[in-house]
Amino acid sequence: MNSFDVTVIGGSLSGSYLALLLSQSGYRVLLVEKEHLPRRKACGEGMAEVAKRYLQKIGIWNALPADSYSPYYGYDLYLETAQGSRAISLRKPQSTRPEGYRVSRSILDEKVFKRTLFTPTIERKEACARSLQFENGEWVVDCGGETATSKYVVTAAGATALPLLKRSLQVSEKVRGKDNRFGVVYWLSGKWTNGTPDTVIARSNGRCQTLLTAINDNLLNVSLLINKSDSSFTEKEKSELFEQSLAFASSHGFELDTVLEQRGAARIESRKILTKHSHLYLIGDSAEVFDPIGGLGMVHAFESAELAAESLHLALSGTVSPYLAASAYRWRRNFFAMRVRFLTSLSYTLNVDMPPLLVSLIQFAPGLSAKLFSFLRKKLLRSRRSKKMYLLPERSECRESL
């Protein structure tokens, strides 16, 4: 039975990124991932510009193939309400810093995950974590019949980690979902007759929100966020909405060649998992899931992993107690998540609720609105880093285990 400093369950973006950060400090990490990567994930594949620095930190950004990403400079919105259709352009000049990047999630996951292959302090295990037991100050992790021990466990497996946590630990779940929408993502190959758009193109009506994200000149991500529960949605209705999305893409100059793949049909909800265990960390979608309409999931994945790495380093080095380090992580991640929630709520209000007054104001001053929205994203998503990490005061009722 091998012993590690940290076991990370989930080798997708946040899990692999955290493993690489910990390895840079010399810690031994067990990375457990049950699926074979890379794989396509139901994701809009839009990444805010501030996320670029995370990939630069581990040397991934310059290693991405040129056709795996492209910058975008804002949003073209087409809102269909009872009062009629309105087109709003929230775009920045191309001479400025882009609003973000349209990036192939499968290639990005592959590059980050493969980097762990060449890191000697990271051991990878292709298996499913079946159970977690905290005994005598350390974790015993059952990985497909084999066991390993570690001082800390980090879950980065998204919603799939919830059953494991509920079986093994006392965790609670808080759902902030506004409605019963669910998402379907299509990847299309083809070409743009009028040149590849430099914005993310979105259409909203009473039935769904359609997002067109051009990864490159020949690959288009079409994400449908449908305003109806999955159980009451028929294949015929889904086919009709897909045909409408193809017509919408065609109206913007996209000529379809092949439908490459479809993923999704997952319910959309804002969800948060809570735990007070001082030796357990939740990052990425395992900690909190945000409505995809905001397009900030990848930023939260990176930032939560980085915050966890800082707290784990303090705890493993003996600088602070495990309880203090875990409390600091949860407080700092929640503070960052509050800002993500605010920006996501703005996107939700504009694209789903579509209040006439707000739509009219944005349509009246689109240039000013674009600058204001970009300013808010830049300021609210900026990492709060300082030489001294602000920690919560340690409490006498600290519990090192459940």
Q: In terms of DSSP H, where are the helices of 200-321? A: 235-251, 297-316
Kindly report, residue by residue over 327-348, the tens digit of the pLDDT.
Answer: 999 999 999 988 988 888 888 7
Cβ-count burial 251-261 (b if 16+ within 10 Å, e if not): ebebeeeeeee
Neighbours of 212 (CB within 10 A): 23
- Note whether residue 397 is domain-resident: no
- Sign of the torsion angle spanned by Cα atoms 227, 232, 238, 244: negative
Residue 395: what pLDDT? 33
Task: Provide DSSP, 5-34.
Answer: EEEEE--SHHHHHHHHHHHHTT--EEEE--
Quote the number of domains for the chain.
1
End-to-end CA distance of the chain: 24
Residue type, position 33, single letter: E
Residues 124, 8, 118, 114, Cα dihedral to 10°: 90
pTM of the model: 0.86
- Note whether residue 316 is domain-resident: yes
The most confident of 81-90, 216-225, 347-356, by mean pLDDT: 216-225
- Note whether residue 145 is domain-resident: yes
Residue 394: what pLDDT? 38
- Note whether residue 90 is domain-resident: yes
- Are 310 and 391 within 8 A, CB to CB? no
Domain CATH for 286? 3.50.50.60
| 399 band by pLDDT with thresholds 50, 70 and 90 | very low
Give the single-character DSSP code of 160.
Answer: G
Give the single-character DSSP code of 228.
Answer: S
- Note whether residue 235 is domain-resident: no
Burial class (CB in 10 A: 0-12, 13-18, 19+), 169: middle
Q: Which residue has the tokens 């899990």?
A: 15
- Note whether residue 206 is domain-resident: no
- Note whether residue 241 is domain-resident: no
Task: Provide DSSP, 50-112.
Answer: GGHHHHHHTT-GGGS-GGGEEEE-EEEEEEEETTEEEEEEEE--TTS--SEEEE-HHHHHHHH
In the chain, count H helices and then E strands: 9, 20
- Note whether residue 296 is domain-resident: yes
Identify the H or E element spanning 115: helix 105-115
Give the single-character DSSP code of 144.
Answer: T
Identify the residue with better confidence: 1 or 158. 158
Over range 80-94, report the average pLDDT: 78
Altogether, the residues listed in the chain come to a count of 402
User: Among candidates 350, 399, 355, which has minimal Cα distance to 376?
Assistant: 350
- Are 285 and 301 within 8 A, CB to CB? yes
The percent of residues above 90 in pLDDT, for the chain, comes to 36
User: Among candidates 337, 353, 92, which has minimal Cα distance to 209?
Assistant: 353
Please tell me the distance from the alpha carbon of residue 116 to that of residue 310, in angstroms, as a whole number. Answer: 19
Coil, strand or helix at 149 = strand
Kindly report, residue by residue over 53-85, the tens digit of the pLDDT.
Answer: 899 988 899 989 988 999 999 889 888 876 677
Provide the residue range defining the domain that includes 312.
Answer: 2-178+269-380
Neighbours of 329 (CB within 10 A): 26
Tokens encoding 347: 């996107």
